[in-house]
Structure 1
């Protein structure tokens, strides 16, 4: 009997065991049944019991040895696999650590910055903690606190960077340590050759790891020391800030009390006036530099907006000059007098509210730039009287705010404050005594003048009384209120002038710029804009008083205080941020809609390409609102899982109740993607032409040429047959004209084709056709077929062609026949005479 053994996949030890078993089987051929072969049971040969037991023992021994050997080889293979994997992971981690160690992190620079912060802190504390017996300036405390907060934020940013880097380095070090602690990598094979090869790899890997591992630990130790220095700086800064806040609170609790008595030089700073100027200069410049470092992005954005608006106003100025042909248009429209200075006034007037808690010197710089720009525009525009008023107010504003930059009281400063308050009172009385309101371009300025008069009067009284801090706040706020109010009022007035001019110019079909739809923007800013500017004016003026900081601080604490509703924790600030982001996203979506074009017609391909942006505005609006909703939820801290549950519960109801709304919304998205119709396309609805004005969330607006605007749900617009003339190649026109029999048809067709060829409104392709159509009673009909480029020009082109054909036919003698019918009249006398003649001839009349 031949035995054939097929082994598809076995380890060497298992093969060896199988060979032994095969040998036993061949040695005891009768002890095994060969399955798969038909044998009679009588052919089995039984061996004695001892041989049987010995055979079983040998089989068990072979199986046991084979199993142990297989397990040993499996373990060896597993260990080798783990060793290869660990070595690969260690190399990758070491490579990652090398890259991270070589990344841009300059610890020496941070150490220098921390040392600089300490130096700057000492400069700030100068004049604050030196002498408790002298009169403390609230401005000095406010500026010092603001600078220390900026230094604290700067040092805290360094701490966050150090912590992030330490955590990442610790992660890499821990990962290398954990991989090095795996037991299998220290096991060597029983095979000496394999063990030697592995040992060599192990040694090379250890040499490769050691420098990086040492560098990791060294860097971690250095970062720990650097973090300790940073913590020390932060603690010192925080202690100084708390002490300044305490002193400022004590000072302002007695703000109305007498701080100095008479005009004796008692209680003032021991520094001379010029020493105070030098100290104040150091602090104010430091505050300005730190603020520029922190908010450089917003400052660059503001400058970019100034340049962009300058470009826009310059374009408006060019078009106004072309259309008016007047030399005095600049004085009629002040915004066009100097586009750059107009842009500065508008952008500074609005963008100043987007800077969080800036130092006073930063605001002072912006206000002076806007004030000087407004002075340049006012030249030869205001009457001499009110121009002098503006210059005087601006100069006094500059002097008073320069005094406000002084951070320690001196006798010289007090006298200067008295003089300025006295000038403000006298000049205010003079303005109201001389009634020149008729010459005033902006009457609401008088309210600010009245406020200035009241504040300067109070400042003068409190200065004489000896309450210098409150007197200084009133002095600065009085002049600031006038100048800032005038800047804001004229910023709005310039915006209104610009909107009116742009709306008049760029709403014309041939004068498009930036695709802005000025019908939607309007010619004036909304009333809400005035309310917001008034609220901003109150905040900017109120910042000079400590009460504003108390109110704003308490309000901030209220907003950030945790609230609990059931199992949900939230803050008022989080909900406020949620609604603010939603409102901003909606406003941005509305602003985007301003860029949709509203042309009269856009049948030409070039025009269609130029306004095709409007068709994508719906997708942009949906994206803005979706992102706004996502950011609002993320910023407010609302749990997304709970929102998901609520939306899931409401999903069925929303799907059933608002299925029409969702159908229109989805249809609008399909229209935007497939572009069967675009904004500005000439379409036909129920046989009437119109222009697609806008594609909205739920519906689209079509301006009909009859004058009305039709609002069509997007689902209906997509579901019905829509005729789009803009996407086509024009409108086919057919004219049938008849000529008399005998006319030379070939010559007539050539003359008509010549007329069609000379009309530029007719497409050269397809070629115009003039073909005989049919024979009629008194004429041969000719069909004239041609294509007109613009759909709306069809009736005009058709009328012109008919008129030219008529003139040409008269000139060439070609007759256009009209239907003729011959009618024969017979009188009653002739009828009777004929009957008599017939009777005479036949003897009886013929009867019908």
Structure 2
């Protein structure tokens, strides 16, 4: 027992030391932020009172960088593993797209940036987007990922940009490596100040030359790059001024942020270009949903990245550049305190953060359930039926998946807020009272949707007839189902009506349909010959199924003709009208060759002239 108490005391002491250290760090940060524009050192041309040896400063900086990097990796190894998995998925997907485009042979892969080197493209896209899963990364960690992205982009740009802009990019990359190394130096020294002056001068001259050489601007594939370069030039000029007059910290922040903003902006712009190019190839290649492509419907996704993707990259660029300034932290910390402040409502304690998490989880579950339906549903009826279109159907399982997603999101959201599961029963009971009073129809449709999902009388993409209306089941939702009619309209039917109606499901029968074609021939026609001709015609017709075999039957004898009934099966439901038309055309042709006449309704009118009375 005493040993446990001693161990507890040691833990408490270590926690106290950590909290004290954190408070000291915050205090010094506030002191530095308060002296942002004050002169910390003598002017650059004036001597310093004391300078620590640069080698000693450099050795401490290397040790500190190694410790920070290793501790951060150990603390977030799970997210690092998640990043590797995401990068692998993107790379495998691009390899799959590369293989399919190569097999088609219509595109020159050497002219496609994303398909020429799938491995490099996948690594670049995955690392550029995946870096945002790491919370508050240290400078050395974010620099490592950004530097890897820059090297990958350098390999991709070969052959896609002119030598002039390739030289500009390499010069920017060298500047970024230099300022990144300089930013990891712990203590200011006279050699570092002169080095920073050289870096700022090079940044200003490079940016100014790039902006003033307007004759080369038309070679740019992404002209938005000029704006970050202009910002870098302005910040480098300010850095020169502040460094000369002894304001080293703000000078260092400005030049680091300026060069970082250009590198990040160029990488993100080219990542957008890669994503748009990949979506363009995918939408033209993949017309059907496949398992290896997660059943994504590219007709619905489109050929360009969605707007929220652009917003994520803009916010990411702002965060990468802004967190170099202490003012960014001053703005973010009060907002964070507001979100995490605990509020009490009776016995229940909550914060804005937990409420936001609740809303986001429910919203995410709702969006995810819609995404499942969105990607798995066709915007219009398919042009093909039969076995090829029956390779995979999520069908009414989509509804079950959506219900599971909503229920899990509901439970996880309540657990995240801290509401006990016992309280959920009270909420469900209250909802039951409301349902009993006024929501019978809605509940009927919801329960009918569940029955359809489990029993599967109809499925997504099934061809059905209901109440005289035919069409293809487009989606099965919580309350209603959508049927795409041949006329191009969408028929919305409540699930209760769909379940209670007499539904003819053509798809469950294998897409085949029997056609009934009545004919009438004149009296005196050789019936045996006619039957033989029609039987041979149907047996030899390519669009008529040989099994079940066609039937040629004599139906009835009317006042002027003999009726023949033809029964035969088509291969697919959608070909019914075309096959029937082709069979009628063949029958008319062969009847004409064999001198077999169709019966034409005739009426004989006898006109009798009566004798007139003589006057």
Q: TM-score, normalised by structure 1?
A: 0.66
2:342 is the counterpart of 1:562: yes
Q: Which residue of 2 aligns with 1:439?
A: 219
**For residues 90-129 of structure 1, what are the structure 2 equivalents within 5 Å?**
none
* 1:654 CA drift (Å): 4.7
* 1:477 CA drift (Å): 0.7
CA distance 1:510–1:520, change in 2 (3 Å): closer
2:475 is the counterpart of 1:694: yes
2:460 is the counterpart of 1:679: yes
* 1:265 CA drift (Å): 6.4
Q: Which residue of 1 aligns with 2:323?
A: 543
Q: 1:818 aligns with which of 584, 587, 599?
A: 599
Q: 2:181 aligns with which of 394, 399, 402?
A: 402
**For residues 306-385 of structure 1, what are the structure 2 equivalents within 5 Å?**
306-321=87-102, 325-327=106-108, 331=111, 333-385=112-164
* SS of structure 2 residue aligned to 1:544: coil
Q: Which residue of 2 aligns with 1:771?
A: 553
* SS of structure 1 residue aligned to 2:473: strand
Q: Contact 1:596–1:694 at 8 Å: present in 2 too? A: no
* 1:733 CA drift (Å): 0.5
**For residues 506-517 of structure 1, what are the structure 2 equivalents within 5 Å?**
506-507=286-287, 513-517=293-297
CA distance, structure 2, for counterparts of residue 235 and residue 427 of structure 1: 50
* 1:753 CA drift (Å): 3.4
* SS of structure 2 residue aligned to 1:727: helix
* 1:380 CA drift (Å): 1.9
* SS of structure 2 residue aligned to 1:476: helix
Q: 2:333 aligns with which of 553, 556, 560?
A: 553
* SS of structure 1 residue aligned to 2:36: coil
Q: Contact 2:54–2:191 at 8 Å: present in 1 too? A: no
CA distance, structure 2, for counterparts of residue 509 and residue 689 of structure 1: 25
Moved more, 390-399 or 816-825: 816-825
Q: Contact 1:269–1:408 at 8 Å: present in 2 too? A: no
Q: Which residue of 2 aligns with 1:737?
A: 519
Q: Which residue of 2 aligns with 1:595?
A: 375
Cα shift readout 1:162-197 (whole Å, capped 9, x = no counterpart): xxxxxxxxxxxxxxxxxxxxxxxxxxxxxxxxxxxx
2:417 is the counterpart of 1:669: no
* 1:277 CA drift (Å): 3.5
Q: 1:300 aligns with which of 61, 68, 81?
A: 81
CA distance, structure 2, for counterparts of residue 268 and residue 781 of structure 1: 118
* SS of structure 1 residue aligned to 2:265: helix
Q: Contact 2:289–2:297 at 8 Å: present in 1 too? A: no
Q: Which residue of 1 aligns with 2:585?
A: 803
Cα shift readout 1:28-65 (whole Å, capped 9, x = no counterpart): xxxxxxxxxxxxxxxxxxxxxxxxxxxxxxxxxxxxxx
Instruction: Tell me the C-alpha RMSD between the 2 structures.
Output: 3.3
Q: Which residue of 1 aligns with 2:539?
A: 757
Q: Contact 1:769–1:784 at 8 Å: present in 2 too? A: yes
**Max Rg structure:** 1
* SS of structure 1 residue aligned to 2:122: helix
Of structures 1 and 2, the one with the larger relative CO (CA 8 A, separation 6+) is 2
Cα shift readout 1:487-530 (whole Å, capped 9, x = no counterpart): 22232333233333323332368999432123432333343443
Moved more, 702-711 or 640-649: 640-649
CA distance, structure 2, for counterparts of residue 313 and residue 367 of structure 1: 21
CA distance 1:558–1:754, change in 2 (3 Å): same
Q: Contact 1:740–1:778 at 8 Å: present in 2 too? A: yes
Q: Which residue of 2 aligns with 1:487?
A: 267
* SS of structure 1 residue aligned to 2:344: strand
CA distance 1:221–1:594, change in 2 (3 Å): farther
2:420 is the counterpart of 1:627: no
CA distance, structure 2, for counterparts of residue 722 and residue 821 of structure 1: 42
Q: 1:576 aligns with which of 351, 356, 361?
A: 356
* SS of structure 2 residue aligned to 1:766: coil
**For residues 607-618 of structure 1, what are the structure 2 equivalents within 5 Å?**
607-611=389-393, 613-618=394-399
Moved more, 528-537 or 620-629: 528-537
Cα shift readout 1:332-356 (whole Å, capped 9, x = no counterpart): x533333222223322232222111
Q: 1:462 aligns with which of 220, 225, 242?
A: 242
2:194 is the counterpart of 1:415: yes
CA distance, structure 1, for counterparts of residue 179 and residue 316 of structure 2: 21
Q: TM-score, normalised by structure 2?
A: 0.88
**For residues 122-137 of structure 1, what are the structure 2 equivalents within 5 Å?**
none
Q: 2:167 aligns with which of 355, 368, 388?
A: 388
CA distance 1:271–1:580, change in 2 (3 Å): farther
Q: Any gaps of 5 or more consecutive residues in structure 1?
A: 1-219, 836-843
Q: Contact 1:448–1:485 at 8 Å: present in 2 too? A: yes
* SS of structure 2 residue aligned to 1:556: helix
CA distance, structure 1, for counterparts of residue 291 and residue 588 of structure 2: 39
Q: Any gaps of 5 or more consecutive residues in structure 2?
A: none
CA distance 1:763–1:281, change in 2 (3 Å): farther
CA distance 1:231–1:279, change in 2 (3 Å): same
CA distance, structure 1, for counterparts of residue 595 and residue 124 of structure 2: 73
Moved more, 561-570 or 641-650: 641-650
Q: Contact 1:603–1:682 at 8 Å: present in 2 too? A: no
2:509 is the counterpart of 1:721: no
Q: Contact 1:495–1:524 at 8 Å: present in 2 too? A: yes
**For residues 490-501 of structure 1, what are the structure 2 equivalents within 5 Å?**
490-501=270-281
* SS of structure 2 residue aligned to 1:610: coil
* 1:481 CA drift (Å): 0.9
Q: Which residue of 1 aligns with 2:563?
A: 781
